[in-house]
Amino acid sequence: MNPNEDVVLLGLRQRKNGAITEENEEIQRTTKDREVGNENKALLEEHEDTLNEEMGSVFKGTVLGDDLTTLAQNAAFKAENVVRKMIEAGWSVCHFHHLPKWLQDNDYLLFGHRPPLPSFDACFKSIFRLHTETGNIWTHMLGCLVFIGIATCFHLRPHLDVQLPDKMVFGVYFIGAIICLGFSTLFHTVNCHSEVIGRIFLKLDYCGIVFLIVGSYVPWLYFVFYCHFKPKLVYVTMMCTLGLMSLMVSLWDRFSETDWRPFRAGVFTTFALSGIIPTIHFGLLEGWLNAIFQKSLFWLLLASFLYITGTTLYALRVPERFYPGKFDIWLHSHQIFHVFVIGGALVHYLGLSEMAMHRLTLSQCSSVFS
Ligand SMILES: [Zn+2]
């Protein structure tokens, strides 16, 4: 090969390399990992031939006078496909420090992270693989299916059992729970797709929590203030307004940043605790020893205890902060938080059912417009 050809080839390689630099960086990060090592190295070698062929065609094209830019673009496009297929087929879990910044969330989980998987297909296939998100995905996916099952059975009951308006407020609760668990499942499945997709689904995940809180309070207020129309209207409006405000905060970009974890936990906890106001109001209105009040309070406190415990563990990142690297796959704080959320949601459903049954045994309200 004469020296001029060398210069041309070098120039071409530089142009081509520039076009695929980003993808190559992703591969390099992945290949540094302890588990990825051999597997991805083999894939790199396998696809290196393809890349060299593309280089060769660009060089030939130049000699034959083809349009250099078109050839370089074609080569870059093909190289991109090769790299994408390689990542999809050969990815393995990686160390926290090998993740790009936008995927670094919990530095107490050391190994077992998914690398970026820039295709929805690969993200959904990862549901069936073992990594830090497996438990998060499955807990809320199964929880979501359980609530779809409960909602279906509940709404197939004959009308004699439960009145239509009662069924409708239960519907509000089921929708809130299913949206929350469904959005959470989706977020944990696709958050490694790309920074933009991860951010969008993270916001949806937060919105789901707001739907669950609003969906929990609306039927609770409906049964507690069954015969008190005005306070019921005021508190339902208050909850919906707070829900709307929380939705707006959730959609704010800074809210989803890692450093804002305690603030996030604080916003949702404050929103959830705002139910203390109607609770005190009802105690003063009907008496602290009122049967439905005591029933509703017991279930509400139990559900709140589960939610708050889960949220506190999530905010403090317990237990992994005490044993970094020991809870990478199972039993880390986010998974425990998910289980507590499902427990809280089921307890709340039991509470609502008992309140509804209690209402059925009482006589009609003398006036619901007080
Ligand atoms: Zn989650």
Contact 350, 177 (CB under 8 A): no
Residue 46 within a domain: yes
Do 335 and 226 share a structural domain?
yes
Residue 79 CA to residue 50 CA, distance in Å, equals 8
Domain count, the chain: 2
Categorize the per-residue pLDDT at 257 as very low, low, confident or very high, splitting at 50, 70 and 90: confident
pLDDT tens track for 302-329: 998 998 899 899 989 999 999 999 999 9
Do 332 and 289 share a structural domain?
yes
Q: What is the pLDDT of residue 296?
A: 79
Contact 316, 349 (CB under 8 A): no
Tell me the CA end-to-end span of the chain in Å, nearest whole number: 96
188 annotated as ligand-binding: yes
179 pLDDT more than 50: yes
332 annotated as ligand-binding: no
Distance 120 CA to ligand 1 centre (A): 19
Residue 231 CA to residue 226 CA, distance in Å, equals 10
Most confident of 88-97, 198-207, 243-252, 293-302: 198-207
If you average pLDDT over residues 93-116, what whole number do you get?
95
Do 270 and 231 share a structural domain?
yes
If you average pLDDT over residues 145-160, what whole number do you get?
87
Categorize the per-residue pLDDT at 233 as very low, low, confident or very high, splitting at 50, 70 and 90: very high
Categorize the per-residue pLDDT at 87 as very low, low, confident or very high, splitting at 50, 70 and 90: low
Distance 124 CA to ligand 1 centre (A): 16
Per the structure, the complete domain to which residue 39 belongs is given by: 3-95
If you average pLDDT over residues 67-92, what whole number do you get?
68
If DSSP states are collapsed to H, E and C, what string results for the chain? CCHHHHHHHHHHHHHHHHHHHHHHHHHHHHHCCCCCHHHHHHHHHHHHHHHHHHHHHHHHHHHCCCCHHHHHHHHHHHHHHHHHHHHHHHCCCECHHHCCHHHCCCCCCCCCECCCCCCHHHHHHHHHCCCCCHHHHHHHHHHHHHHHHHHHHHHCCCCCCCCHHHHHHHHHHHHHHHHHHHHHHHHHHHCCCCHHHHHHHHHHHHHHHHHHHHHHHHHHHHHHCCCCHHHHHHHHHHHHHHHHHHHHHHCCHHHHCHHHHHHHHHHHHHHHHCCHHHHHHHHHHHCCCCHHHHHHHHHHHHHHHHHHHHHHHHHHCCCCCCCCCCCCCCCCHHHHHHHHHHHHHHHHHHHHHHHHHHHHHCCCCCCCCC
Distance 333 CA to ligand 1 centre (A): 10
Distance 197 CA to ligand 1 centre (A): 16
Residue 345 within a domain: yes
Q: What is the pLDDT of residue 156?
A: 85
If you average pLDDT over residues 173-192, what whole number do you get?
97
Q: How far is CA 173 from CA 169, 214, 292, in A?
A: 7, 8, 19
Q: How far is CA 304 from CA 120, 269, 281, 284, in A?
A: 35, 9, 18, 21
36 pLDDT more than 50: no
CATH number, residue 346: 1.20.1070
Q: What is the pLDDT of residue 224?
A: 86
Do 188 and 66 share a structural domain?
no
Do 130 and 90 share a structural domain?
no
Distance 184 CA to ligand 1 centre (A): 6
Contact 191, 202 (CB under 8 A): yes
Distance 221 CA to ligand 1 centre (A): 27
Categorize the per-residue pLDDT at 196 as very low, low, confident or very high, splitting at 50, 70 and 90: very high
Do 132 and 87 share a structural domain?
no
Do 202 and 152 share a structural domain?
yes
- Degrees, nearest 5: CA angle 230-232-238: 105
Residue 116 within a domain: no
Q: What is the pLDDT of residue 44?
A: 45
Residue 300 within a domain: yes
Distance 136 CA to ligand 1 centre (A): 6
Distance 353 CA to ligand 1 centre (A): 27
Distance 245 CA to ligand 1 centre (A): 21
Backbone dihedral angles phi then psi of residue 238, each to the nearest 5 degrees: -60, -45
95 annotated as ligand-binding: no
Distance 276 CA to ligand 1 centre (A): 26
Backbone dihedral angles phi then psi of residue 256, each to the nearest 5 degrees: -90, 0
Residue 107 within a domain: no
Distance 186 CA to ligand 1 centre (A): 10
Do 74 and 169 share a structural domain?
no
Do 130 and 270 share a structural domain?
yes
Residue 137 CA to residue 124 CA, distance in Å, equals 10
Categorize the per-residue pLDDT at 37 as very low, low, confident or very high, splitting at 50, 70 and 90: very low
Categorize the per-residue pLDDT at 86 as very low, low, confident or very high, splitting at 50, 70 and 90: low
Do 147 and 74 share a structural domain?
no
Distance 121 CA to ligand 1 centre (A): 21
Categorize the per-residue pLDDT at 84 as very low, low, confident or very high, splitting at 50, 70 and 90: low
pLDDT tens track for 52-72: 554 455 445 555 555 667 777
- The residues that bridge with 113 in the sheet, in sequence order, are 94
Q: How many CB atoms lie within 10 A of CB 337?
A: 20
Do 212 and 277 share a structural domain?
yes
Distance 188 CA to ligand 1 centre (A): 7
Residue 118 within a domain: no
pTM of the model: 0.74
39 pLDDT more than 80: no
Distance 84 CA to ligand 1 centre (A): 27
If you average pLDDT over residues 333-351, what whole number do you get?
96
Across the chain, mean pLDDT equals 81
Q: How many CB atoms lie within 10 A of CB 158?
A: 6
Residue 74 within a domain: yes
Residue 301 CA to residue 298 CA, distance in Å, equals 5
What is the largest distance, in Å, between two alpha-carbon atoms of the chain? 102
Do 147 and 89 share a structural domain?
no
Residue 101 within a domain: no
Q: What is the pLDDT of residue 41?
A: 46
